[in-house]
Amino acid sequence: MAVTRSGGFAGLVRRAEVDSADHPTVAGLIGDVRLDDVPEPRPQPDRYVYDIEIGDHSAQVGEADLHGPLRELVDHVMTLGG
């Protein structure tokens, strides 16, 4: 899976990729995440935008909507693969 973070005041792009086969924690978190359920991004000035890809699924999530297991997953992947 991969996470690409864009936006923020700086506008810098950061991408992190992790193979869930190598990371049981990531695999576990993926099981708790429903990418189809994330709300449509509401663009807000200088907030981060996350493009999340899990296998064939992808979704764009605004920083303010990143909660619960999805937040945990994104933070974990950014730490591991950033």
Partner 1 sequence: MVQRTLTLDHEQRRTRVAAQLIAQPPPATTPVAANRTLHDAAHKETLPGRTVRAEGAPATGDQQADEVYDWLGVTFDFYNTAYGRNSIDGGGLPLVATVHYSVDYDNAFWEGSQMVYGDGDQQIFKTFTGPLDVTGHELTHGVTQYSGGLDYNGQSGALNESVSDVFGSLVKQYHLGQTADQADWLIGQGMFTDAVNGVALRSMKAPGTAYDDPALGKDPQPAQMADYVETDSDNGGVHINSGIPNHAFYLAATTLGGHAWEKAGRVWYDTLTSKKLPSGADFVTFASMTYATAGTLFGVNSTESDAVREAWATVGVKVT
Give me the residues that bind partner 1 (CB under 8 A), please.
Answer: 4, 6-13, 41, 43-49, 51, 60
Nearer to partner 1 by C-beta: 11 or 24? Answer: 11
* Beta-bridge partners for 60: 51
Smallest distance from the beta carbon of 10 to partner 1, in angstroms? 5
Strand 14-17: give its sheet, edge to edge.
Answer: 14-17, 2-7, 48-54, 57-62
Smallest distance from the beta carbon of 36 to partner 1, in angstroms? 18
Smallest distance from the beta carbon of 14 to partner 1, in angstroms? 9
Exposure on the CB side of residue 4, measured as CA atoms within 13 A: 8
